[in-house]
Amino acid sequence: VCVVLLALAQFSCAAGTLVPERQSMPAARASLRPEYRVFYDTLSEYGAWVLIEPYGYVFRPNVNLDSWRPFGSGFWVPTDVYGWVWVSSEPYGWATYHYGDWFYDPYQAWVWIPGLEWAPAQVAWQATDTYVGWAPRMATGTSLSSIPGGAFSYVPASQLTATDLSSRIVQEK
């Protein structure tokens, strides 16, 4: 038994012959607060983490930046407990539409800033007698006038529950 233990000791890390590899952490992940790293780990395959000061690293989905906007691919579901809940058809929607804020950057287009507080949908609402509109909840400092097509998406009030909502959306002119 002593001979076997002595032989194993020769091949251990403590003997100095084997050194464990050090895994490097991407700068975007390292700069996020530890509780936000779950977002980095699960969203990275669906977009890029870009540095925009003063917000830090933010998530930009892999989409057509000229035509895409948040809360466009999915539908609204009314609930007794939460009110209107957004159900996204995008694989990153579980995070980006229920935590954090959106920001429109003139160079990167729409980007998402992680947050920890869950909500049924991070939106602001507007309504008239015939239309209902929603806009992503914006980060402080967002200039609504700089958003192409305006911040709000609208549908006829009677069509708010449609599951093919993206084909019914009317943008601001």
- Across residues 161-165, what is the average pLDDT? 90
Query: Does the structure show a pLDDT above 60 at 20?
Result: no
pLDDT in tens, 87-124: 999 999 999 999 999 999 989 999 999 999 999 998 99
pTM: 0.78
Which range in 39-43, 49-53, 145-149 is most confidently predicted, on average pLDDT?
Answer: 49-53
At residue 38's C-alpha, the angle toward residues 95 and 119, to 5°, is: 30
Residue 41: pLDDT band by 50, 70, 90 thresholds? confident
- Give the helix ranges, DSSP H, for 18-106: 27-31, 37-43, 93-96
Task: Output 30 or 166, whichever has higher pLDDT.
Answer: 166
Residue 83: pLDDT band by 50, 70, 90 thresholds? very high
According to DSSP, residue 81 is labeled T
Percent of the chain exceeding pLDDT 90 equals 50
The reported pLDDT for the residue numbered 29 is 73
* The dihedral formed by the CA atoms of 129, 131, 135 and 137, expressed in degrees to the nearest 10: 30
According to DSSP, residue 138 is labeled B
The reported pLDDT for the residue numbered 170 is 83
Query: Does the structure show a pLDDT above 60 at 22?
Result: no
The reported pLDDT for the residue numbered 169 is 87
The reported pLDDT for the residue numbered 125 is 94
The reported pLDDT for the residue numbered 14 is 53
- Span between the terminal Cα atoms of the chain, in Å: 82
Residue 25: pLDDT band by 50, 70, 90 thresholds? low
CA 31/CA 56 separation, integer angstroms: 8
